Structure 1
């Protein structure tokens, strides 16, 4: 009831998984990843021990193919399982057991493995093609592939949940762990579209400002900033000076959790201003 794609970005040193299923909270079951080690998607009567076991083996130097052989060989129910892996070097492996419900199968390519079961035929091929052809970050390529899989037919039983997990060294909040992006939609009529929307918010809140988007608060930009701070009740009247304006803008930024996009006094990230306009 599930389709997924695991991938690797050799430039950014990121490993990730995107998955959708007619299953409640698929993000709690399918994806496993560790920075510098690899990523695993385990599904179809998922053996959740596959995730930690495969990561441990790949951390010890096993390739994705070697880890796959080891984790499946002694599983009496392996022919009901499905799993995709990417190792530390971006080598892929995928396995689909004989008894997985049709349509079921997987494809590997450069730095990815795509797989699924109980699908409309063509879903996995669409994921593979889209991941290969799409430009952008690993997260964007994984999401594009997942969306293309759904557009091609997806899970033949429908949609319910989706998840995106991307890891990189010190990529988590504050740099304290490797969970660079960890997003889940547990129950939704269009979980992939909702996951893409939430990813957009994650980038807005936590991605660093683009240098070209940081501008001085002057002219028309200042007019807009003041207008919206007044409308949102962070200012009671036109500010008497720059210090008063900076204090109000800082209060807004901290309230909305935009600390990652906070600028020096007298400047603003245009993405923050655009968000203000839409509130």
Structure 2
């Protein structure tokens, strides 16, 4: 299976978070290429991809191997190495990009402290160069920087066969759902005419539903009255729209939060963050 892609594996120097962004003219590229583990490293495996590189490489990094040590282990155990390509960033920031001699041109990569960009069957070296330049200079949160770099690669030529799928995987210790695991962004566009643009849309939606807000404020009396009316129409609340956030209102509002999958943003009581408020007001007709 030939997975012609362009990908960026990187670490956020501020937080230590690790991520992979990848795009390809290939169905569901996110199911094959990206692997990451918080505090360990991240890997993209492509070009006649060997998906075993992900778990094997992470296991080696976990045991203290360097990126070069991982490459040497693959060289000893995989007779098809020269057909393959992979990028790797360890939690130390050490990186490596490898392109086998039998990969289809254009194929190559660039690696530096905290990043590895690579691709095969590309329009040219300008694709990986654009990804690196954008990643290093963009002023945006880490997941968005990864996508901005991927978009820059696409605009520089991308996969010369066209577009089909893209994926974004980001891990950080304790940042996953409910604080119970490390994978906090895992988004895939499996088949779409503009997969990277669609991935931006999904990331925006992901932030609305799952990002933990930094600040909340109490609902005003007018806002409480509005939501009591909404909750009544939905059959969640049987009281009057009197503007007091009482126990019955809180139970009903919590049910609404669950219906909208916003439970990661709400902590109970009358205090709600502005992004949640804006979404709910738009959804239910605030004017």
5 Å-filtered alignment, 1:1-279, equals: 1-121=4-124, 122-211=126-215, 214-218=216-220, 221-222=223-224, 225=227, 239-240=241-242, 241-243=244-246, 244-279=248-283
After TM superposition, the structure 1 stretch with the greater mean CA deviation from structure 2, 233-242 or 128-137, is: 233-242
**What is the rounded CA distance, in whole Å, between the counterparts of 1:26 and 1:232 in structure 2?**
40
> How far is the alpha carbon of 1:42 from its aligned partner?
0.5
> How far is the alpha carbon of 1:234 from its aligned partner?
5.3
Taking structure 1 as reference, are residues 223 and 86 closer, same or farther at Cα in structure 2, changes over 3 Å only? Answer: same
**What is the rounded CA distance, in whole Å, between the counterparts of 1:75 and 1:50 in structure 2?**
10
**What is the rounded CA distance, in whole Å, between the counterparts of 1:23 and 1:159 in structure 2?**
8
Contact 1:22/1:159 (8 A) holds in 2: yes
**What is the rounded CA distance, in whole Å, between the counterparts of 1:230 and 1:189 in structure 2?**
41
Give the TM-score taking structure 2 as reference length.
0.88
Contact 1:93/1:108 (8 A) holds in 2: yes
Taking structure 1 as reference, are residues 28 and 234 closer, same or farther at Cα in structure 2, changes over 3 Å only? Answer: same
> How far is the alpha carbon of 1:38 from its aligned partner?
0.5
Q: Deviations over 1:50-70 (max 9, x none)?
A: 112211211111111221232
**What is the rounded CA distance, in whole Å, between the counterparts of 1:197 and 1:226 in structure 2?**
31
Contact 1:239/1:245 (8 A) holds in 2: no
When the two structures are aligned, how many residues end up with a matched partner?
Answer: 277
**What is the rounded CA distance, in whole Å, between the counterparts of 1:129 and 1:230 in structure 2?**
53
**What is the rounded CA distance, in whole Å, between the counterparts of 1:231 and 1:17 in structure 2?**
44
Contact 2:7/2:23 (8 A) holds in 1: yes
Taking structure 1 as reference, are residues 150 and 265 closer, same or farther at Cα in structure 2, changes over 3 Å only? Answer: same
Report the secondary structure of 1:100's partner residue. Answer: coil
**What is the rounded CA distance, in whole Å, between the counterparts of 1:138 and 1:73 in structure 2?**
35
Q: CA RMSD in A?
A: 2.2
Report the secondary structure of 1:182's partner residue. Answer: strand
